[in-house]
Chain A
Amino acid sequence: MIPVQFDYVAPATLDEAARLLAEHQDEAKLLAGGHSLIPAMKLRLAQPSLLIDIGRIKDLAYITEEGDQIRIGAMTTHYQIEASERLKEICPLLPECAASIGDVQVRNKGTIGGSLAHADPAADWPAAILALDAEMIAVGAQGERTIRAQDFFVDMLTTSLEPNEILREIRVPQPQKNTAQAYMKVAQPASGFAVVGIAVNLTRGDDGRCQSANIGITGVAAKAYRASNVESALAGNALDEQTIAAAAAHAADGVDANSDLYASADYRRHLAEVYTRRAIQKAIAKL
């Protein structure tokens, strides 16, 4: 469990980090919380020749509000999000999702930006980020660009970040009133990763019907996805038990589900349906 030799730099600014990344491209990896990268390096499955530690860059860990957006710095730890009283009030999906990640040690070190950029197919954040319709702010040599959550996750361990881009910030639209949110997961008993993880972010209109529903699902497929058939089955309809159950049955529509030692593809799809229903119910119970 000893990595191959590598160089280490800890730039003081994001520009410097971006410059180093552009210079070394594939040979370099950004080090955030290190809770995915370091284990992979110790197993020698990842062998970057340069680690660019962005942990020393000031002001990358924050939770602020700007207009109708919540802005979260990429280096904000899971624990900081989990413990944010303000987020519990205005966007409970974020702290709820954070609290379900790994264990205390992982949450104290792991960062939201690191997790998103790593794009583990069973990580928790992608589900929440998709359900919240968040935007990712990426910094590269050519400046900044905004990537929608839907476009961010490309495949297993693969995002649409360019090799020389750094994820700087996550922007989450402020939930409107009458928004119901919840995150539920079945944790793999060894790793704690999501066998299925369901993020719900829906709005109920004054007429009691579902105005809009965003459902993000992780752990089921090679990448997290929006369960669009569940969403459309909910939108415009009364949020009664039958509607929810019928909608949740579409949780894994058209999904090429993962299969591993712990859960077959069929079981995963089934869990996705059951937990989608439960997560929706859990969310609206809070309204």
Chain B
Amino acid sequence: MSKFVGQRVKRTEDPRLIKGLGHYVDDIRLPDTLHVAFLRSMYAHARITNIDVSEAMNTPGVVAVYTGRDLGEKIGPVPCAAALPDLKVPDHRPLASDKVYFVGHPIAAVVATDRYAARDAVDLIMVDYEELAVVVDPEEAAKGGAVVHEKFGDNVAYKLTAGEGDIDAALASADKVIKQRILNQRLAPIAMEPRGVLARYLPGEEELTVWSSTQIPHLLRTQLALMIGIPENKLRVITPEVGGGFGSKLNVYGEEALLGWISMQLGKPVKWIETRRENMASTIHGRGQVGYIEVGCRNDGTITGLRYNVFADLGAYHQLLTPAIPTLTGLMLSGCYKIPAIQINVTGVFTNKMATDAYRGAGRPEATYVVERAADLVAAELGLDPVEVRRRNFPKPDEFPFKTATGLFYDSGNYEAALDKALQNADYARLREEQKRARDEGRIIGIGVSTYVEICALGPSQAMPAGGWESATVRIEPTGKVTILTGASPHGQGQETSFAQIAADELGVDIGDVTVIHGDTSIVQYGIGTFGSRATAVGGTAVYIAIERLKEKANKIAAHLLQADISKVVWDENGFNLEPEPAKVAAGAGVPEADLPAGQAPGASLPEPQIEGKKSLSLQDIALAAHLAKDLPPDMEPGLSATYFFEPKNFTFPFGTHIAIVEIDRETGEIKFQRYVAVDDCGKVINPMLVDGQVQGGIVQAIGQALYEEVVYDEQGQLVTGTLMDYAVPKAAMLPWFELDRTETPTDVNPMGVKGVGEAGTIGATPAIVNAVVDALSPYGIRHIDMPIKPENVWKIVNQQS
């Protein structure tokens, strides 16, 4: 029964988005809306000695100006959900009061009748600063010197050691120990739609509605209720169309609370749409780790131990998950290998920069990069083929569930199968021969392999700060149409399509008869959100199980109406049938249109279900009967809907192999892709087109990190990559063709066998690309090169040697 699941169904979201008919926060226009603009610090660290807002206040159109001193503690601190022992948590309010801690730190909010007046008035606020010593480099920050938060005495927010096995013994007894310093540079998530908030308080109803471009409407509602001090049941969060997040909107920002609070003060709607410059400076960044690898191995390539000492650049404040991100790195340090001893030592440090937090992969790309670079370092040290080193350390398919020295149980996997398929698709042996020939001709070609595993479907609630389940309500309306309410509010992933595919197949209806509703806390039951590649595996499963529940009820009603024992009523795509044989209805009929009497609204008078003499009842017949409730089994609730909160037993662990082939221009160091081959295994696939899209987008962001992107602060903490003129996001013309393929190893963590794929591309591809460049440069004695790999750096290497 899978007419839709597994098919390349076109996204039902796209027509409205392509035609410009979607509604993002900024498209929502309410009468009398006031507009907010922020004054943000241009210093990385300074004491505010005076703020004069009088001139700003006198600007025509300006209604109010709020500073940190005006706010005091009226709005609660911006929350951090990471629970780590002895974590230092600075008091983080929506507006700076005494000091600013990073460039972009909001200082004052101007509220005016239009955006222009608000922005003009920002320039008229006079701030006197007394500059303070700035700390930018995380390693320097850990050593001492300038301190970000005076009250803590130093910059170390926390230290954490994790891992199992005797790492000291493992490294001491290894045949070889290879050490390498590696950098996971800061990145900016750059969602196409920046953040935006519209807040409307209705003083009569005492209700606050907040429209926000977020990945987590329900979690945001709870946190905003606590911050603003409004009852949660008087606060409604609506997440309209969201133009991407990549983790940057898996957060609770000061601006969201402040806008809600301002609307309550003024009794009018207030709106703030983030500018791109604000987005670069004041929306979370990702990555930001400087680490030291020590990897021990035997001469045959068996990895015996891995230690990663890492300085995590947290920035000046904790956002929602800031300090927790490096802990995910620690969890994934085993990669797809059997490594008996693993240790991570994290030093999380404050710096005078914007906070880091979850960015596509959130700690796992960092881990995969460490492990996959380590595997290549081992191969280079021992003169082995990088593929052989990987193969030697894989757990075999019959070793699953597989326990790692980081304390995880990998659910299922067949790493060798994905590797073999990728090698075959790339024709690896021939590539190596070509590489040899090319080198003889003086060309510089590199082949990079990365075999990755990632942790998805976040996650069991035990492992999550605020619930790891997901919810769904599935409802058959009286006319037979299907409504799904999902807590996994999407931000571009296509759940409206993929969840409808699941429902259409399970309910035997056409995909067009299913509507997926999300992102409105007053309509949808509580949900967790879309992040950590969880939407399908957790949210989709909730939909799937809710449908099973709904069908159980429908089955009972069907048996009652057909006057048969429930054991004699069997479901097939056409409905509930009295006999085991499928009813002879033309395939693909979907939901028959309700046969309404002409001229009568359905509410006034619904058709009677025609039961008499039938041996088969469509879902629509049953839904109508359940709604009319004239003939239901005794004690049966009317209506046909089911709600399910799915709690997964474990994470899922998708995996795959990525192979990048690059050629380097000997004279200039410029890097060109020759080919890019990927084989991903995300378990069972609901929509191959959506999976391809996720993998492609993921690889693009990996190319960004490997070759182009880098958030740069200068020594004084000035953000020098403040616009897209300097921060290089890869464009279509800079990309190779992606040769994508899949293996399919289902998981038993959820009944559909799906694992998740939202971050796989980013996780798998980054090390493949760097490994390819390092492989290319290996004749020059190069074992490692830091990201982003700029042509000039490559040129220097080649130039020095030739």
Contacts and interface: CB of A to CB of B under 8 A. Distances in A.
| A and B interact | yes
Contacts of A2: 115-116, 119
B729 A190 contact: yes
A261 B708 contact: no
B792 A263 contact: yes
A43 B721 CA distance: 14
A60 interface: no
Nearest to B734: A189
Given A186-B668, A189-B730, A267 B792 contact: yes
B792 A5 contact: no
Given A1-B277, A261-B720, A189 B708 contact: yes
Interface in B712-769: 712, 720-721, 723-731, 734
Given A4-B120, A261-B721, A270 B726 contact: no
Contacts of B790: 262
Contacts of B791: 267
A264 B734 contact: no
Contact of A190 (B119, B276, B277, B725): B725
B667 interface: yes
B277 A270 contact: no
B173 interface: no
Nearest to B732: A103
B670 interface: yes
Contacts of B670: 186
Contacts of A4: 120, 123
A190 B795 contact: no
A43 B720 contact: no
A262 B726 CA distance: 8
Contacts of B799: 270
Contacts of B730: 189
B795 A267 contact: yes
Contact of A274 (B123, B668, B723, B731): B668
Contacts of A188: 728
A193 B276 CA distance: 20
A249 to B, nearest CB: 12
A104 B765 CA distance: 29
B339 to A, nearest CB: 36
B275 interface: yes
Contacts of B120: 4-5
A279 interface: no
Interface in B88-118: 115-116
A271 interface: yes
Interface residues on B, range: 20 to 34
A142 interface: no
B667 A191 contact: no
B760 to A, nearest CB: 25
Nearest to A189: B728
Nearest to B793: A267
Nearest to B274: A1
Counting chain B CB atoms within 10 Å of each CB, the highest count among A186, A263, A267 belongs to A267
A190 B115 contact: no
Nearest to B669: A267
Interface in B773-802: 790-792, 795, 799
Nearest to B720: A261
A149 to B, nearest CB: 26
Interface string A2-17: 1011000000000000
A191 B123 CA distance: 27
A190 B668 CA distance: 18
B728 A190 contact: yes
B580 to A, nearest CB: 61
A32 B412 CA distance: 61
A191 B726 contact: yes
Interface string A141-159: 0000000000000000000
A186 B671 CA distance: 12
A159 to B, nearest CB: 22
Contacts of B707: 189
Given A190-B727, A190-B728, A271-B668, A5 B277 contact: no
A4 B117 CA distance: 9
B727 to A, nearest CB: 6
A284 B276 CA distance: 44
Contacts of A262: 790, 792
Given A2-B119, A5-B116, A190 B275 contact: no
A145 to B, nearest CB: 34
Interface in B456-470: none
Interface in A162-218: 186, 188-191, 193
Contacts of A190: 708, 724-729
Nearest to B731: A103
Contacts of B668: 186, 270-271, 274-275
A263 B123 CA distance: 34
Contacts of B728: 188-190
B668 to A, nearest CB: 6
Contacts of A193: 725
Given A103-B731, A189-B728, A1 B721 contact: no
Interface string A91-117: 000000000000100000000000000
Nearest 4 pairs of A and B residues by beta carbon: A190-B728, A189-B728, A2-B119, A191-B725
5 contacts: A1-B275, A2-B116, A189-B728, A264-B792, A271-B668
Interface of B: 115-116, 119-120, 123, 275-277, 667-668, 670, 707-708, 712, 720-721, 723-731, 734, 790-792, 795, 799
Given A186-B668, A190-B729, A263-B792, 4 more contacts: A5-B116, A189-B730, A190-B725, A261-B712
